[in-house]
Structure 1
């Protein structure tokens, strides 16, 4: 974005970060700092999701971002420096999957298309987006762009020759309102906000998304969304006009409609009101913690540990990933823990922990180290066995102790013990020690938490060492240390646990009844305004029909039905929706099994069970088991 001289981006980020570290919310003169109508972050409101090919693939992208240069310099990255980093990326990281270079803020561009769309990152750059897309493409990579389609540059507003795409009768300036300037409350002056009530606003916003999509840009990073919705910032107070949640939803919906499956929408600095209802419905990726700032351990684990109802809900990614885990998973939201600069960490122990956390949570792994300071740290980004988890779409969850919202009950989830199930039925387990001074012992019991029957093979992924056959994994962890292991059950059938699957439409973790196996089960598979679902990623060795069983509870005084389907990640149907009946059982602590068959494609399938409009009753779901 273009930054005025009145306030630097560095000061801006420090301001937001200061509040995140525990400073008070700053009230506006004309009202409260926090929007009304808030609900705790884990209230499990029934909501639909965008369910794009990006979220259905699981984990976020692997890429590089300019933040590591621009933040300490508080300036746009020079094009020569950008090129030096792109060339390093192409030679050292792209072969390992880091195939995108992405811009960020600071760039000041006053070169526009006739419709007011910026053509390059910065006026000091010689080349435009198209040139850099070609340059990256020749090296097997692509370009991600940071920009908010709700921004209109002041030069475009001042020049009536700029017209809305597809609407030559409407001047771009006419979709803005005098004084409605991005960040006007803190001295910004270069960008106006689009007024979504104006004729032509939809065409301008969707045209911006299509402009980038048609260029071949696969990833759009959309920042400062909280400022648009409420006109407030937790650290800075009033930063402009409050456009309201209805206008915010409209803008996101238009971007979603234009994006389709052609461009990934990364939502940055959202308030995530009403349990991230709008972000889940219209976005692919959502930031869940404060900015990376200077990096290092403090930004990864320190600062404010409690929830606040406005951006940033949690300060650090440990808490953010934990607090939003009920919204993550296939077809739901990709949780973005922000940039990593491994050169800012104190030692290799912390570097392994940072990568392990991003991997187990299914976050994008965004390198913001530079060619000039990466040193020997590239090896942490390129560990083959750790990257294999990411490439299989791993999205893990922390250990849940109860169904209580983490926002109001920090004891309900464990930020230091994580597990996630891979499509082949194996598991990734991560243990962390966030303590600054004490060595601790952490463990995961395979039967008690993962529902594994018998022993399983365990492999340390950082060292590439087989640890043998075990029924649990225990580690002594020094301060800031972690362990990341793969756990492979030996059973012939593959058991996929609902408590570690993706929950949609109000489906909800619980453990308030007895008799289940593993960490818990999923409830709220009942009548709702949005159909509740549980989605499992399962891998089949070949296309065909496979046996499937469902472990369930049903004490509704009658037979309940659910609808099941299998699809590929690209939305193509493998087995069309079919109804499964679940007979009544004695009580909610009694569990039964229903068996049947399902068609699967070779490779990864998304098997979804949910309550469709034609279904009746309700069930709790413990797991599904497949003969694959």
Structure 2
């Protein structure tokens, strides 16, 4: 008997396959041992005699989308197709697009995206590319892209460029784009079907080792780009890589790590800076290195399924070394928070079906979690079932935080990976810093029965000196000057605060910024301010240069005074490479080599002054240890005089 897609995915992720992730956390290298030395006093600083440096080498795709922070706001067909276990009819698609245009597009939800149930699309171009979502649809992709564009929205497409429809394979007139000598049948292997029990063996996998495979895969991406599709959602990646599903075992042939990485690289090359690449169902092996290098967005939990609280917070709470590593988005966002932030990865918590939650408090918690984690907010309700729940997607102050690119992190208790030590991070207390230097704090009660008090202390946890202005975002009410963000929360409730420090300078904390190339949180040395600092700004770590990126909003173009709070326990000065860039990656200042004198101990911290040139508006200020740098530092914060 054929296994339906619904049966396959309904309980995906319930079975653990492996023990906790073995992410190494070695002790400091011997060269970083505490050694007394005299602090240098004449080292050049950034913007005042510092030396030019080569740009930092990144391990991430570092696209315009990841550099902008949070994921997109959009609507997806899942809320129709999942309950019906069928492709959405075209008239339903149109009715929901028209509803989206009238009710949600004014709030920024400017894309409609298809989803699965795609096996029934067999009509293809001369090069084997499907022309519409389903054979029952009258109109093709181009028609719907234009229809949405007329309403100032865009079309997102769900399809894996590694799929080849059987109809194209069996048609000898179909050839690979740019390769008239290669038939579509030549780029697949016999019986190498995607999920052989789904869709009557209608889809083959591409064999990336065959001539013409690269042209086919990259041509598929280019095909959608030419139609005007800015967003491609690529699914079932774990099944391609090793052919395994954590819930049902083997589903198809394994294609191997090397072929998987090759395929992602081809898609990355073809997408360039004009298409956002969403990677769905990846195993995220090797600390998500392949996905980080080639994608913009990754799914970090099991499917939304029927929705509701169980999918948001319940289910399996521990980690497994296979898709999905964590079952629910609370754990998934927490476990992968070391990979989020500007220039790194957008973490995708999957769709929200607001009407499936039991209360408005649960609905607020769902949207708050997606907002603080920098996830896309993807509506999967329908015009016919959302009822009175749509308000939760359009609260203007919540959306304002999202549109500023907010990407927060959970409170870290130590530097051990969450997969190894579940107590290392707090899934119920989150914070993030906005480019203007203000903060956002989210507090949650995931419990089912008890009312609890939750808080983050502004000085101890966030490094804010003194009191700050606190505003309740959902209530849209100012709470005055406070020294902590605190709330009494009923079960499944949350609180969301916008916090504005009073000081005249803006201090950006590395522990809440974006980390790349092996840079990581720690708090194993004394003397820092706030919840911790970033270490591993040293040689010999992960591939690529370790770095920290801060998003900074400048009121005007010009050169600004800067201070770095750092520790350097080595006997001599260490150097770091610093630059400021626009969100599109173009350079505003640098890269420059900056010298950080010894502080004689890793427990002793000092300030290094300098200047940095910023453009008016958003800047990404990055500091890291490049190939030409020496030594190492721990980084606490960056302070800028923006007033």
TM score, norm. by length of structure 2: 0.93
- Corresponding position of 1:370: 382
- Corresponding position of 2:576: 562
1:453 aligns with 2:465: yes
- Corresponding position of 1:30: none
Tell me the alpha carbon deviations over residues 244-269 of structure 1, each in whole angstroms, 9 at most, x when there is no partner.
Answer: 11000000000000001110000000
1:79 aligns with 2:75: no
Highest RCO, 1 vs 2 (Cα 8 Å, sep ≥ 6): 2
Q: Aligned runs of 1:228-627 on 2, under 5 Å?
A: 228-528=240-540, 529-627=543-641
- 1:47–1:277 contact (8 Å) kept in structure 2: no
1:7 aligns with 2:10: no
Larger deviation, residues 457-466 vs 522-531: 522-531
Tell me the SS of whatever aligns to 2:9: helix
- Tell me how far 1:43 sits from its aligned partner: 6.0
- Tell me how far 1:181 sits from its aligned partner: 0.6
Distance across 2 between alignment mates of 1:519 and 1:195 = 48
Distance across 2 between alignment mates of 1:534 and 1:56 = 13
Distance across 2 between alignment mates of 1:252 and 1:274 = 15
Structure 2: which 5+ runs fail to align?
27-56
Distance across 2 between alignment mates of 1:186 and 1:9 = 6
Distance across 2 between alignment mates of 1:42 and 1:281 = 20
- 2:230–2:276 contact (8 Å) kept in structure 1: yes
- Tell me how far 1:24 sits from its aligned partner: 5.4
Distance across 2 between alignment mates of 1:453 and 1:221 = 43
Distance across 2 between alignment mates of 1:617 and 1:71 = 54
- 2:3–2:197 contact (8 Å) kept in structure 1: no
- 1:566–1:606 contact (8 Å) kept in structure 2: yes
- Tell me how far 1:215 sits from its aligned partner: 1.1
- 2:16–2:319 contact (8 Å) kept in structure 1: no
Distance across 1 between alignment mates of 2:383 and 2:78 = 13
Distance across 2 between alignment mates of 1:7 and 1:65 = 24
Tell me the SS of whatever aligns to 1:605: strand
- 1:181–1:188 contact (8 Å) kept in structure 2: no
- Tell me how far 1:405 sits from its aligned partner: 0.9
Larger deviation, residues 71-80 vs 5-14: 5-14
- Tell me how far 1:586 sits from its aligned partner: 1.9
1:40 pairs with 22, 33, 37, which one?
Answer: 22
Structure 1: which 5+ runs fail to align?
26-33
Distance across 2 between alignment mates of 1:538 and 1:272 = 30
Tell me the SS of whatever aligns to 1:280: helix
Q: Aligned runs of 1:139-288 on 2, under 5 Å?
A: 139-184=151-196, 189-288=201-300
Distance across 1 between alignment mates of 2:66 and 2:227 = 22
- 1:41–1:324 contact (8 Å) kept in structure 2: no
Distance across 2 between alignment mates of 1:160 and 1:39 = 47
Distance across 1 between alignment mates of 2:21 and 2:292 = 15
Tell me the SS of whatever aligns to 2:283: coil
- Corresponding position of 2:37: none
Distance across 2 between alignment mates of 1:15 and 1:289 = 12
- Corresponding position of 1:29: none
Tell me the SS of whatever aligns to 2:638: strand
- Tell me how far 1:463 sits from its aligned partner: 1.0
- Tell me how far 1:576 sits from its aligned partner: 2.2
TM score, norm. by length of structure 1: 0.95
- Corresponding position of 2:75: 64
Distance across 2 between alignment mates of 1:41 and 1:115 = 43
Q: Which ranges of 4 or more aligned residues in structure 1 deviate by more than 6 Å?
A: none
Q: How many pairs does the alignment contain? A: 609
Tell me the alpha carbon deviations over residues 181-233 of structure 1, each in whole angstroms, 9 at most, x when there is no partner.
Answer: 10126785111000110010000000001111111101000000000000110
- The verdict on how the C-alpha distance between 1:368 and 1:135 changes in structure 2, with shifts beyond 3 A counting, is same
Q: Aligned runs of 1:22-37 on 2, under 5 Å?
A: 23=15, 25=17
- The verdict on how the C-alpha distance between 1:103 and 1:186 changes in structure 2, with shifts beyond 3 A counting, is closer
Distance across 2 between alignment mates of 1:185 and 1:152 = 16
Distance across 2 between alignment mates of 1:217 and 1:7 = 32
Distance across 2 between alignment mates of 1:585 and 1:491 = 27
Larger deviation, residues 104-113 vs 273-282: 104-113
Tell me the alpha carbon deviations over residues 297-352 of structure 1, each in whole angstroms, 9 at most, x when there is no partner.
Answer: 00000000000000000000000000000000000000000000000000000000
Tell me the SS of whatever aligns to 1:40: coil
Q: CA RMSD in A?
A: 1.4
Tell me the alpha carbon deviations over residues 572-621 of structure 1, each in whole angstroms, 9 at most, x when there is no partner.
Answer: 11112011110011210000010100000111100000011111100000
Distance across 2 between alignment mates of 1:153 and 1:489 = 57
Q: Aligned runs of 1:102-141 on 2, under 5 Å?
A: 102-107=113-118, 108-141=120-153
1:97 aligns with 2:116: no
